[in-house]
Amino acid sequence: MILVTGGAGYIGSHTCLELLEAGHEVLVLDNLSNASPEGLRRVERLTGKKVELVEGDLRDGAALERLFGSRRIEAVLHFAGLKSVGESVEQPLRYYDNNVAGTVKLLEAMGRHGVKRLVFSSSATVYGDPSRVPVTEDMPLSAANPYGRTKLIIEDMCREVFRADPSWRIALLRYFNPVGAHASGEIGEDPQGVPNNLMPFALQVAVGRRPVLNVFGGDWPTADGTGVRDYIHVVDLAKGHVAALAKLDALGGCVPLNLGTGRGVSVLELVAGLSRAVGRPVPHQVVARRAGDVASVFADPTRAAQLLGWRAELGLDAMCADSWRWQSQNPNGYAR
């Protein structure tokens, strides 16, 4: 079976669904600090298959010991972590403890039990402010905030674990900007509090929970002056994990891979796409730039295509239509 840490969360729950559809058995470890168990119940309903959810913390060595001691785990998909940039600036130690110390515990338990196959949720944030786009995996890495630094440290740790013991097989999946939801509208992103990211904020404006979307900067050196990112449909991303798992042994090492579409989309293009999906304009206004933002980041996804045989298939309209289906069917997320 596959152990999915953080499997109750946004990307994890979509990946559990794709793993089940691909015939894997799935065990989730999640402390539910940023998720509801309802998402996985819906995954079970959609697939007609069971997902075992163990409510527990990555940093609890005894809980990990029980988990690895009692099951035959073939590989680990490691999503569990805190992910808010702003919060990480205010509470850096909480991020180092949860993300870095938690991953140390996980890797120790994996090593002890001879489970040396790992797929890790890294991020395009490890490229900092890239000197050119599209971004390739060999470009320099840097961290602009504590969240990004936890990703960089964990990547470094993985490289060193592999160097010390070359029998490990590790894929470092660098996600660009995940958006969208399962086509059923039954599972999706359910952020707590005020969303930081563009799509969840725009969706809450579209559904009437907030009055207007602030577009951070109209004077970036891009075609329409707004920031450009590589939005990737979460179902494509989930399928990328299934592909990485299938090719993990063939990758033969500790390999970073960009998971993006290769297409840059501006804030205004995304707002226009969402407005089409909703059927009315999403109110927005251009305001000052947000501190720490960069103009344009999008992936060169060639390596993932070559090594995993995977590429993103869903475009902006599907991302917006599926996001909207989830948001309009579940205006308050899982707490309807």
User: Does residue 9 belong to the site contacting ligand NAD (CB under 6 A)?
Assistant: yes
- List the one residue from 33, 285, 329, 332 that touches ligand NAD (CB under 6 A): 33
Rounded Cα distance between 145 and 63, Å, is 30
Q: How near is the Cβ of 60 to ligand UDP at its closest, in Å?
A: 30
- The C-alpha atoms of residue 121 and residue 103 are separated, in whole angstroms, by 11
Smallest separation (angstroms) from ligand UDP to the CB of 215: 4
| Member of 12, 256, 260, 262 binding ligand NAD (CB under 6 A) | 12
Report the nearest approach of ligand NAD to the CB of residue 87 (Å). 11
Q: Which of 3, 19, 27, 31 binds ligand NAD (CB under 6 A)?
A: 31
Query: Which positions from 89 through 118 interact with ligand NAD, judged by CB under 6 A?
Result: 98, 102
Residue 147 is among the residues annotated as catalytic for this protein:
yes
**Shortest CB 196 distance to ligand UDP, Å:** 6
Q: Quick check: 156 and 120 in contact, CB under 8 A?
A: no
Instruction: Select the residue interacting with ligand NAD from 88, 123, 145, 296 (CB under 6 A).
Output: 123
Print burial letters for 181-216: b (CB count within 10 Å at least 16), e (below 16).
Answer: bbeebbbbbbbeeebebbbbbbbbbbbeebeebebb
The secondary structure of residue 48, as a DSSP letter, is T
Angle between helices 316-329 and 198-206 (to 10 degrees): 50
> If contact means CB under 5 to 8 A according to the sort of partner, which of ligand NAD, ligand UDP, none does residue 59 touch?
ligand NAD
For residue 295, count CB atoms less than 10 angstroms from its CB and return exposed for 0-12, middle for 13-18, buried for 19 or more: middle
Name the catalytic one among 95, 127, 147, 175: 147
Peptide bond into 134 cis (omega under 30): yes
- Interacting residues with ligand UDP (CB under 6 A): 177, 196-198, 201, 213-216, 227, 229, 267, 290, 293
